[in-house]
A = this chain, B = another copy of it.
Amino acid sequence: MPEVRELEWLRESKPSERMLGYPQAICEALDQALALDPRVFVMGQGVDDPGGMFGTTKGLHNTHGAARCFDTPLAEASMTGVAIGAALGGMRPVYMHNRSDFLFLTLDQLVNHASKWHYMFAGAVSVPIVVWACIGRGWGSGAQHSQALQGTMMQYPGLKVVMPSTAYDAKGLMLAAIADNNPVLILEHRHNFKYKGAVPEKVYTVPIGKGVVRRAGSDVTIAGISNMVNEALLAAKDLAAIGIDAEVVDLRSLRPLDETLVLESLRKTGRLVVTDSGWKTGGVAAEVAAIAAEKGLEFLKAPVRRVTCPDVPTPSGYTLEQAFYAAKDDIIEAVRTIVPPRR
Contact = CB atoms under 8 A, between A and B. Distances in A.
A91 interface: no
A306 B286 contact: no
B297 A303 contact: yes
Given A287-B281, A289-B289, A115 B300 contact: no
A111 interface: yes
A286 B290 contact: yes
A304 B312 contact: no
B293 A303 contact: yes
Which residue of A154, A155, A255, A289 has the most chain B CB atoms within 10 A of its CB atom? A155
Nearest to A301: B297
A112 B107 CA distance: 13
Interface in A277-309: 279, 281-287, 289-290, 292-295, 297-298, 300, 302-306
Copy tally for this chain in the complex stands at 2
A171 interface: no
Nearest to A76: B108
Contact of A282 (B111, B287, B293): B287
20 contacts: A104-B107, A104-B108, A105-B108, A119-B313, A120-B142, A152-B152, A155-B282, A157-B279, A157-B311, A157-B312, A282-B286, A282-B287, A285-B290, A286-B289, A286-B290, A289-B289, A289-B293, A290-B290, A293-B300, A297-B302
Interface of A: 101-102, 104-105, 107-108, 111-112, 115-116, 119-120, 142-144, 151-152, 154-158, 255, 257, 279, 281-287, 289-290, 292-295, 297-298, 300, 302-306, 311-313, 315
